[in-house]
Copies of this chain bind each other. A is one copy, B any other.
Amino acid sequence: MSLDAVLARIDQTLPEAIDRLLALLRVPSISTDPAFKADCARAADLIAADLRGLGFEAAVRPTPGHPMVVAHGTGPSGGAGRHLLFYGHYDVQPVDPLELWHRDPFDPAIEETPKGRVIRARGASDDKGQLMTFIEACRAWKAVHGALPGKLTIFLEGEEESGSPSLIPFMKDNAKELKADIALICDTGLHESRYPAITTMLRGLVGEEVTIHAANKDLHSGMYGGAAANPIRVLAKILASLHDDRGRVTLPGFYDDVDELPEAIRAQWQALPFDHAKFLGDVGLSVPAGEADRTPMEMLWSRPTCEFNGIAGGYAGAGFKTVLPAEARAKVSFRLVSRQDPDKIRAAFRARVQSLLPPDCTASFVQGGSGAASVMAITDPAFEVTRAALSEEWGLPAAYVGSGGSIPIAGYFKTYLGMDAMLVGFAKDDDQIHSPNEKYDVESFHKGIRSWARVLARLA
């Protein structure tokens, strides 16, 4: 059977596939640092040239920031499969603190570790290794069949690690060209580092910075303490008001648009192995801190949160200073689920702040990120087909999982191109993405390529 030939080809040519990944990893495409602008362009060029070699019409497309790579391929004439768009990003996180790396982050190598062979380099997992799984699957398919498996668009971004400033304008400007039947996104991981998984729920995000202003300058806490308003005290009271004793967020209407989990998903999640003792234990914790009547998995994947990401006010250096500060500020973020409206949540937060301001105090706000949750309509048969393909490859049942984080790209595909997205990835929890000594397991890479070959065989 032809898929078997493709899988065999993938197995035989794994060393060359790794070499190609290493070549890409040698390019320090750090998007947030202007010093690496030329390297970002070089990474885009490298991939575009590779894709042209596979028969794609591939172009490096300029943006006000780093370029996009857009490649179109067609399968054998008359192919009636679905048009798939694959998304990944070729840019990487900065590498500091460099002294914590045990090798040059841009001098990649295969290392033997107690847990198996790994590819060590910045970007090995996030996202160069992951995006190359798809390209290598296409390559093997082409080698065996002489053609790509079907109608494919590859869409790679170079600004994912720096806030994607050019992404939405580019999608809007090229909506017709980029529209496909479904988007495949390879930027997530295996569940519990072992189970193949399709991420179908991503939390949204509202970020907000609030500053409480009181006196027009810092005061001496002896001379004024007792008579003058203290903005840290006001801020603490506001923050403390946001959760009740059961861990629920107290903003009016906060849970109005939060749906209970569909029974099918709930049952599936209950069956999913999830070692919450280990999950928390790894970071020195033991007791889930969220809503009292929810499981940790719900807390992370399907329940909204209000978290405090930063706070500052007055003197925080060594020693003591008897200052009564003029202002204090906090960064607050809400993770959203279901149909929660970011604007409504932001307005409710601001109303709460205003309602708790004593005389003489004012509040100012800086609006941070804003995005609704993404809940994939898994009714599209592509989801079940992909689940079967992944289960076959990994020998373990593939799961529909949620993610506590926010990957806005999935929502953008829906909003701007009107297509669903399917998030499949092969990263493991210990890949150290965004941290020193990032790695990608050779197993993730190898089985990732094989996984895509199986998905392509069924979908393309």
- Could you list which residues of chain A lie within 8 angstroms of chain B, going by C-beta atoms? 203, 205, 207, 209, 214-217, 219-230, 232-233, 235-237, 239-241, 243, 276, 279-280, 283-291, 296, 299-300, 303, 305, 307-317, 319-325, 328-331, 333, 335, 358-360, 368-369, 403-406
Across the interface, which residues of B come within 8 angstroms of A215, CB to CB? 283-285
Known A-B contacts A215-B285, A243-B233, A312-B312; the reply to A300 vs B335 at CB < 8 A is: no
Across the interface, which residues of B come within 8 angstroms of A359, CB to CB? 286-287, 289
Known A-B contacts A276-B227, A289-B360; the reply to A320 vs B331 at CB < 8 A is: yes
Q: Which residue of B lies closest to A294 (CB)?
A: B226
Q: Which residue of B lies closest to A283 (CB)?
A: B215
- Expressed in whole angstroms, the Cα–Cα distance for A289 and B228 within the complex equals 5
Q: Is the CB of B216 within 8 A of A284?
A: yes
State the number of copies, please: 2
Q: Is the CB of B283 within 8 A of A228?
A: yes
20 contacts between A and B (CB under 8 A): A203-B222, A220-B405, A221-B305, A222-B406, A223-B300, A223-B404, A226-B289, A228-B285, A229-B285, A230-B289, A233-B239, A237-B240, A239-B240, A240-B241, A287-B360, A309-B321, A310-B313, A310-B316, A310-B321, A310-B325
Known A-B contacts A283-B215, A289-B358, A329-B316; the reply to A308 vs B232 at CB < 8 A is: yes
Q: Is the CB of B315 within 8 A of A309?
A: yes
Q: How far is the CB of A428 from chain B (nearest CB, A)?
A: 14
Known A-B contacts A222-B405, A320-B209; the reply to A229 vs B289 at CB < 8 A is: yes
Q: Is the CB of B239 within 8 A of A232?
A: yes
Report whether over half of chain A's contact residues are helix, strand or loop; otherwise say mixed.
mixed
Q: Is the CB of B320 within 8 A of A369?
A: yes
Known A-B contacts A209-B320, A320-B207; the reply to A331 vs B314 at CB < 8 A is: yes
Q: Which residue of B lies closest to A219 (CB)?
A: B283
Known A-B contacts A316-B312, A328-B311; the reply to A300 vs B226 at CB < 8 A is: yes
From B222, B289, B323, contact of A227 by CB (8 A): B289
Q: Is the CB of A311 within 8 A of B239?
A: no
Known A-B contacts A305-B225, A308-B233, A335-B222; the reply to A285 vs B360 at CB < 8 A is: yes
- Expressed in whole angstroms, the Cα–Cα distance for A291 and B207 within the complex equals 35
Q: How far is the CB of A221 from chain B (nearest CB, A)?
A: 5
Chain B CB count within 10 A is highest, among A214, A308, A314, for: A308
Known A-B contacts A311-B313, A314-B331, A330-B232; the reply to A280 vs B227 at CB < 8 A is: yes
Across the interface, which residues of B come within 8 angstroms of A330, CB to CB? 232
Across the interface, which residues of B come within 8 angstroms of A220, CB to CB? 405
- Expressed in whole angstroms, the Cα–Cα distance for A313 and B310 within the complex equals 5
Q: How far is the CB of A319 from chain B (nearest CB, A)?
A: 8
Across the interface, which residues of B come within 8 angstroms of A323, CB to CB? 309-310
- Expressed in whole angstroms, the Cα–Cα distance for A123 and B240 within the complex equals 43
- Expressed in whole angstroms, the Cα–Cα distance for A442 and B207 within the complex equals 55
From B221, B287, B307, contact of A230 by CB (8 A): B307
- Known: A222-B335, A223-B404; 8 extra A-B contacts, CB below 8 A, are A240-B240, A287-B360, A289-B359, A309-B320, A310-B313, A311-B311, A319-B368, A322-B333
Q: How far is the CB of A377 from chain B (nearest CB, A)?
A: 22
Across the interface, which residues of B come within 8 angstroms of A214, CB to CB? 284-285
- Expressed in whole angstroms, the Cα–Cα distance for A52 and B203 within the complex equals 79
Q: How far is the CB of A142 from chain B (nearest CB, A)?
A: 37
- Expressed in whole angstroms, the Cα–Cα distance for A240 and B243 within the complex equals 13
Across the interface, which residues of B come within 8 angstroms of A205, CB to CB? 222, 322
Across the interface, which residues of B come within 8 angstroms of A283, CB to CB? 215-217, 219, 224, 228
Q: Is the CB of B279 within 8 A of A232?
A: no
- Expressed in whole angstroms, the Cα–Cα distance for A329 and B236 within the complex equals 12
- Expressed in whole angstroms, the Cα–Cα distance for A406 and B221 within the complex equals 10
- Expressed in whole angstroms, the Cα–Cα distance for A314 and B239 within the complex equals 15
Q: Which residue of B lies closest to A433 (CB)?
A: B220
From B286, B290, B310, B316, contact of A331 by CB (8 A): B316
Across the interface, which residues of B come within 8 angstroms of A225, CB to CB? 300, 305, 307, 333, 335, 404
Q: Is the CB of B300 within 8 A of A320?
A: no
Q: How far is the CB of A351 from chain B (nearest CB, A)?
A: 19
Across the interface, which residues of B come within 8 angstroms of A209, CB to CB? 320
Across the interface, which residues of B come within 8 angstroms of A241, CB to CB? 240
